[in-house]
Amino acid sequence: MRDRFSATLRLWFAPQRLREEGTTPDYRFSLANERTFLAWIRTALALVAGGIAVDQFLTGLRGGVRTTVAIVLLAGAALCAFRAVNHWVRCERAMRRGEDLPASRFPVLLATGTALAALLVVAVVVLGLAGR
Amino acid sequence: MEASGSAGGPPAAVRDPGAQPERTWFAWRRTTLTFVVSVALLARTALAEPTAPALLAVSVGAFAWLGMLVTAQRRIRGLARPAPAVMGPGQVLGTLACVLVLIVAGGMLL
C-alpha cells in the first residue's frame, strides 16, 4: 500500500517515467483519458467559481457561515484538481500495463457531498433560516 | 512538405473517424473558458470595491489564467500532429498549478 502510494506520487512529479512502463496504448485511449482529466479540472473550476460566488453574493448570511461555505468549496476544488492528476496518472499506467482501469470512490464521495449540500439548502430555504 | 492526400503514396495521416484529437482540443478550450468565469467573478469584486487585496487577487487570478492559456495552447499544438503523444508533465502539472493558484486567488478575498 505504502509502496504503491509512493510509486504513484513519484509519477505525479515525473509523468515522463510513465513511458518506461509497459507499451504505449492506442493514442485514442490516452486522449479519452486526457478529456476525463480535463472534465475533472472543470469540476474543480466550477467549485472555485462557486466558492467565490458564495462569498460575493450571499451577503445575507453571517460572515462566519459565508466564509466557511466558501472555504469548503475552495478546498473541494483543490481536492478535485489533485484527484484529477492522480486518476489520470493511474489510468495511464494501467493502460500501459494492460491492467484494468483503477476503480475509484471519489465520484460517489463528490455525489454524496453535493446531495447533502442540496438537502441542507432545501432545509434552510424551507425553514426560513437564512437571515432576513 | 508536399501536399498530402495525393494519389499513390501511403496515407500520411489517416483521419480518426471518432475525431478524438479535435474533441480533446475542444476540451482544452472549454477548460480555459471555464477558468474565465472565476477570474471574472474576482474582477467583479475588484471593480465593486477596488481595495489592494482585491486588486492583487485579480492579478493573481489573471496570471493563473494566462498560464492555463499557454498550457492549453502548447497542448493543442501537440494535438495537431497525427497520432499525438501523451500529455507531458508540463501540461499535467501546469494545469494543476494554474488551478491551485486560482484557488489561492479566491482565498485571498475571503
Give the model confidence (pLDDT) of A24-34 as tens digits.
888 889 999 99
Helix axes B89-108, B52-79, angle to 10 degrees: 160
Residue-range definition of the domain harbouring residue B96: 20-108
Q: Evaluate whether residue B91 is within a structural domain.
A: yes
In B, which residues are within 8 Å of A30 by CB distance? 86-87
Q: Evaluate whether residue B1 is within a structural domain.
A: no
Q: Evaluate whether residue A116 is within a structural domain.
A: no
Which residue is it, cell 501546469? B94
A9 Cβ under 8 Å from any chain B Cβ: no
Q: Evaluate whether residue A73 is within a structural domain.
A: yes
Average pLDDT over residues A87-106: 90
pLDDT averaged over chain A? 87
Q: Evaluate whether residue B13 is within a structural domain.
A: no
Q: Which of A42, A70, A88 sits opposite B34 (nearest CB)?
A: A42
Q: Evaluate whether residue A119 is within a structural domain.
A: no
Asked whether the CA dihedral A77, A83, A84, A85 is positive or negative, the reply is positive
Q: Evaluate whether residue A98 is within a structural domain.
A: yes
Among A122-126, B10-14, B35-39, top mean pLDDT goes to: B35-39
Q: Evaluate whether residue B26 is within a structural domain.
A: yes
Confidence grade of residue A83 (pLDDT, cut at 50, 70, 90): very high
Number of domains in chain B: 1
In B, which residues are within 8 Å of A87 by CB distance? none
Q: Evaluate whether residue B4 is within a structural domain.
A: no
Question: What interface predicted TM-score (ipTM) does this complex get?
Answer: 0.85
Q: Give the closest-approach CA distance of A49 to chain B in angstroms.
A: 5
Q: Evaluate whether residue B14 is within a structural domain.
A: no
Q: Evaluate whether residue B80 is within a structural domain.
A: yes
Q: Evaluate whether residue A130 is within a structural domain.
A: no
A51 Cβ under 8 Å from any chain B Cβ: yes
Cβ distance of B89 and A45 shorter than 8 Å = no
| Residue with the larger pLDDT of the pair B13 and B56 | B56
Distance CA A119, CA B45 (A): 29
Q: Evaluate whether residue A127 is within a structural domain.
A: no
Confidence grade of residue A56 (pLDDT, cut at 50, 70, 90): confident
Q: Evaluate whether residue A10 is within a structural domain.
A: no
Q: Evaluate whether residue A68 is within a structural domain.
A: yes
Chain A, 55 to 74: residues with Cβ < 8 Å from chain B are: 55-56, 67, 70-71, 74
The CA-atom distances, in angstroms, between A102 and each of A91, A99, B6 are: 6, 9, 44
Read off the amino acid at residue A60. G
A115: left (phi over 0), alpha (psi -120 to 50) or beta: alpha
Average pLDDT over residues B1-15: 48
Q: Evaluate whether residue B2 is within a structural domain.
A: no
Average pLDDT over residues B11-26: 77
Whether residue B69 has pLDDT greater than 80 = yes
> What pLDDT, on the 0 to 100 scale, is given for residue B1?
40
Q: Give the closest-approach CA distance of A8 to chain B in angstroms.
A: 14
Q: Kindly give, in sequence order, each residue whose CB lies less than 8 Å from that of residue B38, ignoring residues fewer than 6 positions away.
A: A45, A48, A49, A52, B61, B102, B106
Q: Give the closest-approach CA distance of A86 to chain B in angstroms.
A: 10
Helix axes A63-97, B89-108, angle to 10 degrees: 170
Whether residue B14 has pLDDT greater than 70 = no
Number of domains in chain A: 1
Read off the amino acid at residue B18. G
Residue-range definition of the domain harbouring residue A71: 25-103
